[in-house]
C-alpha cells in the first residue's frame, strides 16, 4: 500500500507501523480503519471465536482534530474505539508535549532517548494520550463550538479550549525519523561559501538535531569556533551572550565563528537587542537558528535586509512553514519536496533538489546578470550614438528643428536595424563556460552585488558613445565640405538626403560591429543577426530609394 502525506514524518510513521503489522487502510467519512495482523497481536489476545486471528479489522470513529500550529507545535486527535471508550492522542515537539504529561519516570527516560536521537541527526516527536469520559468530551466539544463562534479573540479562545483538554496526558513514548540529506548538499554549500554567499540555516528542529546536520553537510566549517545562545529567559542573559561573542570575535580575529541560537533566545534578541544581534551575527561565518516558528523565520529575513551593506536576500525552503520567509526575501526559492508544493507555489523560482541551487546561482545567475548588464548599457550606447549626431546637426543648422535622418530611418533604427542582435546576445551570451563557473565559484564575485551596473561601466559606455558619434559626424561633415559632389551623379551636387543616409549608414554599421566585438560567446546565430541587421538597412534603403525616384 502506497501512502501519501503532507508530512514526511507522518508517512514514515504510518509505513513503519504497517511493517510491524498495524496497517492503516483508510477512512470512510469519520470511520478510520486499521488492519491488525497476527504479528502485532499479543499471544494472550483472542478473537471472539477464541483463536488468535491472522488479521483483524478495527475501526475508530474520529470525533475531533486539534490541528497543528507553529505556536502549539503539536496536534491532537480525539477518537472513539470499538468499545466506546474515547481517547485523545497527541504528538508533537517534546518541548511542548512532555510538560503536559502527568508525572512519570518514563518522562526522564524518554527525554534522554530523545536527546540521543537528536545527536544522531534524527527528527524526534513525543506521543501521549489521555482517556476521556463522555461528559468530558461533550464539555470540550461545547466549549470549542462556543469559542469558534466568538467574534472577539476567537483564536485565543480556541487555543485555550484546546489547552484545557490537552492536560494530564499519559506519555506513550517518542519517535525518531531520519531525514536524510539530499545529494551534493555539502558541495553546494561549500561552493556558495566560496562564491561569497553567506548561508544561514533557519529550522524548526531541535538544537542537537540541527547541529548534527549542520556539521554533516559542512554548513559549520571545520575549525570554526562554535558559540551557543540557548535557554535564555531574560534580556540580560541574551545581552551577556552577545557581548561575550563580540569580545571573543575581537580577540580571535583570524578564527571563523559560528553561532547557534534557539527560538526562545531569538525572540528576546529580536525584541530587546535587535540591532546588536544583527551586527554580531553578520560577522559570523555560519549562523544556525533552531526551533523557529514561521514568523520568526520571516523576522530574521526582515532583520537581514536592514544591514548597512544592503544585501540581497534569498530564502529557500520546501514546506508550508517556509512560505512567509520565502515571500519576505528579495528572491524566493522553493523546492518541490515531500512536504508539498506550498513553498514552490509561493516562490519566484522552483526546482526539485537543493543541489540545483548551485547551478542556478553560479551559472545562470552569472550568465543573466552579464546579459542584462550588456543589454541595458548597449541600449543607452546605441541611442546616444544615434541622437548625438542629431545634436551636432542642430548646432550646425542653428537649431532649425530639421532632422538629419529621414523619417524611415527614425522609425526602423530601434525596430529593425539594431533590435535583433542585442536580444539574441541577451539570451546566448556566456562570459565563461558552464564547467568553468562550477569549478571556480569565486567568479561569481564579478557579478555579485550588481557590480556590472556600476557607474564606471555606464560612464565608460557613454564616453565611448560620444567618441563614436563625434567621429562619424565630423568625418562625414569633412568629406562633404571637401567635395559636396563626391557621391553625386554628374553634373549634380549631392543632396541633403544623401548626407543623412551616409550618417545613418555609418551609425548602423558601427553599433552592430561594436556589439559583435563586445560579445564573448559568438554563436553562428548571433553573427548572422548582426550581418542581417546591416543588410536589412542596405536593402530597406535601396527599396525606399526606388520608391522615391
Tens digit of each residue's pLDDT (9 = 90 or more) over 194-214: 998 999 999 888 888 888 888
Task: Indicate if the pLDDT at residue 181 is higher than 80.
Answer: no
Domain identity same for 174 and 213: no
pLDDT at residue 490 in the model: 54
53-112 pLDDT tens trace? 677 788 899 999 988 877 788 899 999 988 889 999 999 888 889 999 988 888 999 999
DSSP output for 193-223:
HHTT---EEE-SS-HHHHHHHHHHTTSS-TT
Assess if residue 167 is contained within a domain: yes
User: CA-based angle 431:433:436, to the nearest 5?
Assistant: 110
Range of the domain at 402: 360-548
Of 162, 178, 194, the residue that ends a domain is 178
> Based on the number of CB atoms within 10 Å of its own CB, is 327 exposed (0-12), middle (13-18) or buried (19 or more)?
middle
Domain identity same for 389 and 537: yes
Residue 495 in grid coordinates: 543632396
Q: Which stretch of 33-42, 228-237, 488-497, 511-520 has the lowest confidence by average pLDDT?
A: 488-497
Domain identity same for 492 and 528: yes
Task: Indicate if the pLDDT at residue 180 is higher than 80.
Answer: no
Domain identity same for 154 and 235: no
Give the contacts of 109 (CB within 8 A, at least 6 positions apart): none
Residue 189 in grid coordinates: 554549500
Assess if residue 446 is contained within a domain: yes
Task: Indicate if the pLDDT at residue 48 is higher than 60.
Answer: no
Calculate what percentage of the chain has a pLDDT beyond 90. 45
**How crowded is residue 185: how many other Cβ atoms within 10 Å of its Cβ?**
20
Q: How far is CA 270 from CA 7, 87, 265, in A?
A: 29, 40, 9
Domain identity same for 286 and 168: no
| Phi, psi (rounded to 5 degrees) for 26 | 155, -165
Domain identity same for 172 and 42: yes
Query: What CATH number is attached to the domain comprising 286?
Result: 3.40.50
Calculate what percentage of the chain has a pLDDT beyond 70. 93
Task: Provide the whole-model pTM.
Answer: 0.76
pLDDT at residue 456 in the model: 92
Of 178, 195, 214, the residue that ends a domain is 178
Domain identity same for 156 and 191: no
Buried b / exposed e along 356-379 (16+ C-beta atoms within 10 A) = bbbbebbbebbbebbbbbbbbbbe
- Residues annotated within the binding site are 10, 68, 91, 123, 203-205, 291, 297, 318, 321-322
- Residues annotated within the binding site for ATP are 10, 68, 91, 123, 203-205, 291, 297, 321-322
Determine contact, residues 515/531, Cβ cutoff 8 Å. Answer: no
Assess if residue 344 is contained within a domain: no
Domain identity same for 473 and 516: yes
> Based on the number of CB atoms within 10 Å of its own CB, is 113 exposed (0-12), middle (13-18) or buried (19 or more)?
middle
DSSP output for 25-58:
EEEETTEEEEEEEGGGS-TT---TTSS--SEEEE
Mean pLDDT of 12-41: 82
Give the contacts of 360 (CB within 8 A, at least 6 positions apart): 333, 349, 351
Torsion of the alpha carbons at 451, 452, 457 and 461, rounded to the nearest 10: -170
421-460 pLDDT tens trace? 999 999 999 999 999 999 999 999 998 888 888 899 999 9
Closest C-alpha among 238, 308, 330 to residue 277: 238
Domain identity same for 281 and 203: yes
Number of domains in the chain: 3
Assess if residue 1 is contained within a domain: no
Task: Indicate if the pLDDT at residue 338 is higher than 70.
Answer: no
Of 311, 342, 368, the residue that ends a domain is 311
Determine contact, residues 454/404, Cβ cutoff 8 Å. Answer: no
3-state SS, residue 348: coil
Task: Indicate if the pLDDT at residue 506 is higher than 50.
Answer: yes
397-406 pLDDT tens trace? 888 888 899 8
Assess if residue 328 is contained within a domain: no
Domain identity same for 260 and 370: no
- Residues annotated within the binding site for Mg(2+) are 318, 322
Determine contact, residues 409/500, Cβ cutoff 8 Å. Answer: yes
Assess if residue 250 is contained within a domain: yes
Mean pLDDT of 242-249: 92
Calculate the average pLDDT of the chain: 87
Domain identity same for 161 and 200: no
Task: Indicate if the pLDDT at residue 299 is higher than 90.
Answer: yes
Query: What CATH number is attached to the domain comprising 54?
Result: 3.40.1110
Assess if residue 349 is contained within a domain: no
DSSP output for 393-458:
HHHHTTS----SS-HHHHHHIIIIITHHHHHHHHHH--SS-HHHHHH-GGGGGGTGGGGGGSHHHH
Domain identity same for 274 and 371: no
Amino acid at each position: 500500500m502506497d501512502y501519501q502525506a503532507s508530512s514526511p514524518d507522518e508517512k514514515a510513521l504510518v509505513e513503519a507501523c504497517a511493517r510491524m503489522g498495524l496497517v492503516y487502510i483508510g477512512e470512510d467519512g469519520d470511520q478510520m480503519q486499521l488492519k491488525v495482523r497476527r504479528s502485532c497481536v499479543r499471544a494472550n489476545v483472542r478473537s471472539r471465536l477464541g483463536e488468535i486471528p491472522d488479521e483483524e479489522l478495527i475501526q475508530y470513529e474520529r470525533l475531533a482534530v486539534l490541528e497543528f500550529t507553529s505556536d502549539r507545535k503539536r496536534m491532537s486527535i480525539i477518537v472513539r474505539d470499538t468499545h466506546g471508550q474515547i481517547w485523545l492522542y497527541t504528538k508533537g515537539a517534546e518541548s511542548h508535549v512532555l510538560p503536559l504529561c502527568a508525572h512519570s519516570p518514563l518522562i526522564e527516560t524518554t527525554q534522554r532517548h530523545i536527546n540521543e536521537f537528536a545527536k544522531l541527526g534524527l527528527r524526534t516527536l513525543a506521543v501521549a494520550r489521555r482517556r476521556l469520559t463522555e461528559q468530558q468530551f461533550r464539555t470540550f466539544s461545547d466549549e470549542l463550538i462556543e469559542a469558534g463562534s466568538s467574534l472577539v479573540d476567537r483564536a485565543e479562545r480556541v487555543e485555550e479550549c484546546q489547552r484545557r483538554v490537552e492536560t494530564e496526558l499519559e506519555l506513550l513514548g517518542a519517535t525518531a525519523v531520519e531525514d536524510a540529506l539530499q545529494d551534493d548538499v555539502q558541495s553546494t554549500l561549500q561552493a556558495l561559501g566560496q562564491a561569497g554567499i553567506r548561508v544561514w540555516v533557519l529550522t524548526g528542529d531541535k538544537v542537537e538535531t540541527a547541529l548534527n546536520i549542520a556539521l554533516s553537510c559542512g554548513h559549520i566549517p571545520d575549525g570554526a569556533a562554535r558559540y551557543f545562545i540557548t535557554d535564555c529567559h531574560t534580556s540580560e542573559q541574551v545581552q551577556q551572550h552577545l557581548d561575550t561573542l563580540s569580545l571573543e570575535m575581537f580577540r580571535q580575529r583570524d578564527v571563523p565563528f559560528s553561532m547557534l541560537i534557539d527560538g526562545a533566545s531569538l525572540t528576546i534578541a529580536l525584541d530587546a537587542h535587535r540591532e546588536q544581534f544583527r551586527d554580531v551575527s553578520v560577522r559570523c561565518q555560519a549562523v544556525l537558528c533552531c526551533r523557529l516558528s514561521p514568523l520568526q523565520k520571516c523576522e530574521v529575513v526582515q532583520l537581514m535586509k536592514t544591514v548597512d551593506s544592503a544585501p540581497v536576500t534569498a530564502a529557500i525552503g520546501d514546506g508550508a512553514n517556509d512560505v512567509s520567509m520565502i515571500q519576505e526575501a528579495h528572491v524566493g526559492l522553493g523546492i518541490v519536496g515531500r512536504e508539498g508544493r506550498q513553498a514552490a507555489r509561493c516562490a519566484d523560482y522552483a526546482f526539485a533538489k537543493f543541489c540545483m541551487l548551485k547551478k542556478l546561482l553560479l551559472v545562470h545567475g552569472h550568465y543573466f546578470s552579464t546579459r542584462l548588464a550588456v543589454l541595458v548599457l548597449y541600449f543607452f550606447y546605441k541611442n546616444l550614438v544615434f541622437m548625438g549626431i542629431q545634436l551636432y546637426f542642430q548646432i550646425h543648422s542653428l537649431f532649425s528643428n530639421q532632422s538629419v535622418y529621414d523619417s524611415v530611418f527614425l522609425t526602423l533604427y530601434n525596430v529593425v536595424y539594431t533590435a535583433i542582435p542585442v536580444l539574441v546576445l541577451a539570451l546566448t551570451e556566456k562570459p565563461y563556460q558552464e564547467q568553468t563557473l562550477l569549478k571556480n565559484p569565486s567568479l561569481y564575485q564579478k557579478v555579485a552585488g550588481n557590480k556590472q551596473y556600476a557607474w564606471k561601466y555606464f560612464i565608460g559606455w557613454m564616453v565611448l558613445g560620444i567618441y563614436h558619434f563625434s567621429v562619424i559626424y565630423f568625418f562625414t561633415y569633412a568629406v562633404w565640405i571637401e567635395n559636396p559632389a563626391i557621391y553625386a551623379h554628374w553634373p549634380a551636387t549631392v543632396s541633403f538626403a544623401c548626407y543623412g543616409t551616409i550618417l545613418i549608414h555609418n551609425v548602423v554599421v558601427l553599433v552592430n560591429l561594436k556589439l559583435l566585438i563586445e560579445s564573448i560567446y559568438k554563436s553562428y546565430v548571433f553573427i548572422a543577426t548582426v550581418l542581417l541587421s546591416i543588410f536589412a538597412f542596405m536593402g530597406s534603403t535601396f527599396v525606399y530609394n526606388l520608391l522615391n525616384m
